[in-house]
Amino acid sequence: MRIYMHCHTHHSRDSLMTYDALLRRMDRRGIDMVAITDHNTIVGALAFHARAPERFVVGQEIKTTCGELIALFLKDEVPPGLSPEETIARVHAQGALVGASHPLDRWRGEALGMENLELIRRKLDFLEVFNARMTFSSDNRLAREMAARWGLPGSAGSDAHAPSEVGRAYVDIPAFDGPQDFLDSLSLGQICGRLSSPFVHLYSTYAKWHKRLEAR
């Protein structure tokens, strides 16, 4: 099955993606399942999962004091602004999984970076090794090398904020049942992906301004 593990919806401040638009694009691209990982909230993920539990995983991209982590199979929202260690502990306390999103992206301030990764790598369940919004493909390659060196399964995601980005990166894995079985399947998965155009970041900027204007 094809799953991609990093997607935003209109519940993120920088996306306008609706349920219907996402589902149509998933079907068009042959994507079986998507992890909804909005910034610092699971409201959208819970809503999407309630409508199609076989298609959506409840996740969250969480801002920590050192960069962003990505959690999957959440039951409860994890507050932003905690240390990476405390964030990981809260994710694991509810039986969920946690990894680092775009961990070595040199242009994103939200990336953890190598120094912080070294401190928490033994507590991570997976590492995002292909993010389609990376500017430099070498940053993805380095993440993949680190995951292999540390014995961590690698994840992939389009980091989609717009329908056109859906399905540009995914992992082809065996079917699974629950978080731990998912990790086993992920370790057997095949990473598939291609980078998006750098211009996709303009869409995120547009989404932010659109929401600000609507709020007035």
> For 14-48, what is each residue's pLDDT tens digit?
999 999 999 999 999 999 999 999 999 999 999 99
Q: How far apart are CA 188 and CA 1, in angstroms?
A: 12
Total domains in the chain come to 1
pLDDT per residue over 46-59, tens digit each? 999 999 999 999 99
Diameter of the chain by CA atoms? 50
Q: Which two tokens stand for residue 193?
A: 């992906």
CATH code at 137?
A: 3.20.20.140
The residue segments making up the domain with residue 92 are: 2-215
At residue 185, the pLDDT reads: 97
Share of the chain above pLDDT 90, in %: 94
Q: Kindly indicate the confidence band of residue 108, based on its pLDDT and cuts at 50, 70 and 90.
A: confident
CA distances from 117 to 31, 42, 81, 120, 150 (A): 30, 24, 17, 5, 11
Q: How far is CA 145 from the centre of its chain?
A: 19
At residue 137, the pLDDT reads: 95
Question: Is the entire prediction scored with pTM above 0.75?
Answer: yes
The larger pLDDT score, comparing residue 42 to residue 215, is at: 42
Strands (DSSP E) contained in the chain are: 2-7, 33-36, 56-63, 68-72, 97-100, 126-131, 154-157, 169-172, 190-193
pLDDT per residue over 117-153, tens digit each? 999 999 999 999 999 999 999 999 999 999 999 999 9
Average pLDDT score, the chain: 96
Residues 187-200, mean pLDDT to the nearest whole number: 94
Q: How far apart are CA 62 and CA 161, in angstroms?
A: 16
